[in-house]
Amino acid sequence: MSQAKDTLLRLFALLRLIPTAPQGIATPTLLDKLRDRGFSVTLRSIQRDLNRLSIPFSLMCDDSEMPFRWSFTRNAPLQLQDMDAPTALALYLSENHLNALLPQTVMDQLGPQFRRARNYLQGASTNGLADWARRVRAIPNGKTLIPAAVTPEVWAIVSSALLERRQLQVSYQSRSKNAMKQFHLHPVGLVSRHAMSYLIATVGDYRDLRQFALHRIQQIVALDEPAKMHCVFDVDDYIASGAFNLRQADTQVELVADVHPQIATLLRETPLSLDQALTDLPSQDWKRLRAKVPLDGETLWWIFGLNDNIRVYAPQAWVDEIRERLRSMQAFYQEACSA
């Protein structure tokens, strides 16, 4: 390898080792890391390199203590440092979780970062965080569905139109009517929920907000015209309004139910609400549950998931729906058995 090429590679490796302020790295540490990477270098040559690179690359030196510590300034025009251990660990542990939330096209774009994180942790055998990554996992609660497939073209055009505030013309597969429809959309937001991603938009000259699942968009064109902005739209307020929760009422209700001891233990550890109460029942080990909850579909689905481990007394709307659902299921399975 020529001397000029070797010097260039050494300088590039040196810059990749320097963190951004307020973090810093000492010159002896830089020496050890460069030698580990196969570079024949002295402490004096590193000091000369750092002084020479400080101005064009916005490096700063903390000389308040020995040995001196170097870092990139916060507004450095170019940052080449290696991935640090906390960032690598966060990416490594979040990959499986994000895989169930984001479209595959987005995961493909993040792929190089995930690979860098894995490579960093695999190569850092003496790093405590690398050992953490081999010992810690996060698993979802409940059944995780495979994310709906969104084409790269749809994702790219939707995200660009949202950022650039441009109108969209789409051919959309309606789930309710099983028909293809044409829509002229004004995008205002994007929400990933469970295994699907939704574009929030107004249609044509209407002002009401609607949700469009990205995987049902069959054809899409970004128009040059600017989108009409929804003056009161805030994505957090929109979600809080119950737009994704099949809310049956805008007010909260008191859930009153008897729950199995194991469910009571779970709810003590992970309450339904801040004002939840669990009290003893006479002559039995079940508990009486009281909690203020939203009158929405998700809470009702949670109740159905407990099966015979819960008996609901209020609200009356849920009691009636549970009874009706049980009658319907019983009739359904009786018909299936007699067929």
| Cis peptide upstream of residue 67 (ω within 30 degrees of 0) | yes
Q: Which CATH class is domain 3-72?
A: mainly alpha
pLDDT tens digits along 13-27: 888 888 888 788 899
Assessment of whether the complete model's pTM goes beyond 0.85: no
Percent of the residues in the chain that have a pLDDT greater than 90, as a whole number: 33
User: Residue 51 pLDDT more than 50?
Assistant: yes
Domain with CATH 1.10.10.10 in the chain: 3-72
- pLDDT of amino acid 223: 93
Q: How far apart are CA 172 and CA 301, in angstroms?
A: 29
- pLDDT of amino acid 266: 93
pLDDT tens digits along 176-208: 777 899 999 999 998 888 778 899 999 998 888
Domain with CATH 2.30.30 in the chain: 152-240
Cα Rg of the chain (Å, integer): 29
Domain with CATH 3.30.70 in the chain: 247-335
pLDDT tens digits along 212-248: 999 999 999 999 999 988 777 888 888 877 777 766 5
User: Residue 335 pLDDT more than 90?
Assistant: no
Give CA angle at 18 (16, 24), nearest 5°: 165
- pLDDT of amino acid 339: 61
**Beta pairing class for 247-259 and 284-296:** antiparallel
DSSP 11-75: HHHHHHTPPBTT--EEHHHHHHHHHHTT----HHHHHHHHHHHTTTTTEEEE-SSSSPEEEE-TT
DSSP 244: T
Helices in the chain by DSSP H: which ranges? Answer: 3-16, 27-36, 43-53, 85-99, 104-123, 128-135, 152-164, 235-240, 261-269, 297-305, 316-338
Q: How far apart are CA 337 and CA 154, in angstroms?
A: 45
pLDDT tens digits along 74-105: 777 665 666 667 778 888 888 877 776 666 67
pLDDT band at 1 (very low <50, low <70, confident <90, very high): very low
**Beta pairing class for 196-203 and 210-213:** antiparallel
pLDDT tens digits along 266-282: 999 999 999 999 999 99
Q: What is the CATH number of domain 152-240?
A: 2.30.30
| Cis peptide upstream of residue 112 (ω within 30 degrees of 0) | no
**Beta pairing class for 217-226 and 166-174:** antiparallel
Q: What is the CATH number of domain 247-335?
A: 3.30.70
